[in-house]
């Protein structure tokens, strides 16, 4: 049964069928093969019950929040501010790429939005200042991955829904690994440009008065972050309500800077609808597939197979790491999460793994998948912004940052408190 389901899934994905459709078709195929009951008749009820989750409302709201900030022009000013403060480091504006991605991640919750936003502003600087193109592009792709780890993260919301885990605790758990990963990325750039000074381009000079004046451009995204995350931990709002507050704050900022107009709102709403429709199709299809797998006993069989593995906890973690790294080479990140977490997470939690720590580990593994070929989504995003050139340059430039992600994975495995300390400190 397990082998049949796996082969069918690989065949459907290999045929380049959209993942949402592939998951739904797999459920429809498994139903007559392994069930005596017409499970497909429950599809309508399952579609409603899967999507009728208050926490899922946060997803379109966070997408809309990022869209408003992007189209209001805050991203460009934020990048310029970061460039003035970080360009003195070896690697120059590549540090601004990562710094701006870190700040924008704290408002958008999306890796694709982060990579696209920062990349649009940054890529013209490659030739202007003479940077090594692969490494510069790699810093953009890697910086974008921070969008799904640093709160408010859409992927952490989905993990919380799938595992019935506390989203506020997941947000807290993601802060230190997210900042640590940003530091690892910047260290990678600094080391590369120290060994090869020519890769770092020409220095961008800035006086202290210019740097201090630029700080005002960092206030809007930081204000939104404090509004969203602060309202959650102050006990004033749920993650969904906090997302609504973030959208209200973004609209107020856009209006205050006279950048709010109907055309901008229409574009933001259209992109939000497209992204939300894609996500919810996958969520609903995965919900139906999980129902079929549970009803046919496939989920229980998979869980028992994992539990029956006579290996140490460390070996189990290494197996999971290898599984996600391989799967991430062929599967889109969100689809990978929704498909695997309902099966893998319960088995690992039953073995004694902390669900919050496990969530952060999976998110970092998913981050790695974002910049690993051939299906690394951020690779395609950055390549599309170039409007020319070989994809190989983007892939080559991300390799040092993939190594940095491996370091973070190792740190999380060896030092679980890196993710668990802050939730325990705030919650306790």
Mean pLDDT throughout 388-395? 82
Q: Which residues contact 380 (CB under 8 A, 6 or more apart)?
A: none
Domain ranges in the chain are 13-427
Report the candidate in 384, 397, 390, 341 with the shortest Cα–Cα distance to residue 366.
Answer: 341
Tokens 């319960």 locate to: 346
Q: Which residue has the higher pLDDT, 10 or 326?
A: 326
Nearest one of 354, 349, 346, 362 to 417, comparing CA atoms: 354
Cis peptide before 374 (omega within 30 of 0): yes
Q: Residue 238 region, left (φ>0) first, then alpha (ψ -120 to 50), else beta?
A: beta
Q: Give mean pLDDT, residues 289-302.
A: 74
428 has a pLDDT exceeding 60: no
The per-type count for the chain, helices as H runs and strands as E runs, is 22, 0
Strand partners, 200: 131
Confidence category of residue 348, pLDDT binned at 50, 70, 90:
confident
Which of 29-43, 89-103, 345-359 shows the lowest per-residue confidence on average (mean pLDDT)? Answer: 29-43
| Residue 347 pLDDT exceeds 60 | yes
CB 13 within 8 A of CB 331: yes
**Residue 301 pLDDT > 60, yes or no?**
yes
pTM: 0.82
Mean of per-residue pLDDT scores for the chain: 83
245-274 confidence digits (pLDDT tens): 989 998 998 898 888 899 999 998 998 888
Give the pLDDT mean for 188-211.
Answer: 85
Tell me the C-alpha distance between 342 and 364, whole Å: 18
Task: Please write the tens of the pLDDT for every residue from 369-384.
Answer: 878 876 677 788 788 7
> Is 302 or 156 the better-scoring residue by pLDDT?
156
Instruction: Give the model's confidence band at 126: pLDDT under 50 very low, under 70 low, under 90 confident, else very high.
Output: confident
Phi and psi at residue 200, to the nearest 5°:
-85, 0
């Amino acid at each position: 049964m397990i082998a049949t389901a796996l082969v069918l899934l690989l065949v459907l994905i290999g045929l380049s069928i959209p993942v949402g459709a592939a998951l739904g078709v797999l459920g429809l195929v498994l139903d007559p093969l392994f069930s005596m009951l017409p499970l497909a008749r429950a599809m309508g009820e399952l579609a409603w019950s899967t999507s009728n989750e208050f926490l899922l409302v946060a997803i379109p709201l966070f997408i809309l929040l990022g869209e408003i900030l992007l189209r209001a022009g805050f991203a460009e000013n934020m990048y310029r501010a970061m460039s003035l403060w970080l360009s003195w480091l070896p690697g120059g504006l590549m540090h601004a790429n990562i710094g701006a991605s870190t700040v924008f991640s704290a408002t958008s919750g999306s890796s694709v939005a982060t990579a696209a936003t920062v990349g649009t502003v940054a890529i013209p600087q490659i030739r202007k200042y003479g940077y090594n193109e692969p490494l510069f592009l790699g810093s953009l792709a890697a910086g974008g991955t921070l969008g799904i780890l640093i709160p408010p993260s859409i992927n952490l919301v989905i993990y919380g829904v799938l595992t019935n885990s506390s989203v506020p605790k997941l947000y807290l758990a993601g802060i230190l690994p997210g900042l640590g990963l940003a530091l690892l990325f910047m260290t990678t750039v600094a080391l590369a440009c120290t060994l090869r000074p020519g890769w770092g381009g020409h220095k961008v000079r800035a006086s202290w008065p210019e740097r201090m004046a630029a700080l005002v451009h960092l206030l809007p995204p930081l204000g939104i972050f404090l509004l969203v995350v602060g309202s959650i931990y102050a006990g004033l709002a749920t993650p969904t309500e906090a997302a609504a507050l973030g959208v209200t704050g973004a609209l107020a900022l856009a209006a205050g800077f006279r950048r709010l107009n109907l055309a901008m709102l229409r574009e933001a709403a259209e992109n939000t609808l497209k992204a939300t429709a894609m996500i919810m199709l996958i969520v609903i299809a995965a919900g139906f597939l999980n129902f079929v797998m549970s009803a046919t006993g496939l989920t229980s069989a998979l869980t028992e197979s994992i539990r029956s593995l006579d290996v140490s906890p460390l070996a189990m973690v290494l197996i999971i790491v290898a599984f996600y790294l391989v799967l991430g080479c062929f599967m889109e990140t969100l689809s990978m999460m929704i498909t695997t977490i309902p099966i893998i997470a319960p088995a690992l939690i039953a073995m004694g793994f902390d669900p919050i720590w496990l969530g952060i580990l999976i998110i970092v593994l998913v981050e790695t998948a974002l910049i690993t070929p051939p299906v690394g989504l951020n690779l395609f995003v950055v390549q599309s912004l170039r409007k020319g050139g070989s994809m190989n340059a983007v892939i080559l430039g991300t390799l040092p940052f993939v190594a940095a992600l491996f370091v973070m994975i190792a740190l999380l495995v060896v030092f679980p408190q890196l993710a668990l300390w802050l939730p325990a400190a705030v919650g306790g």
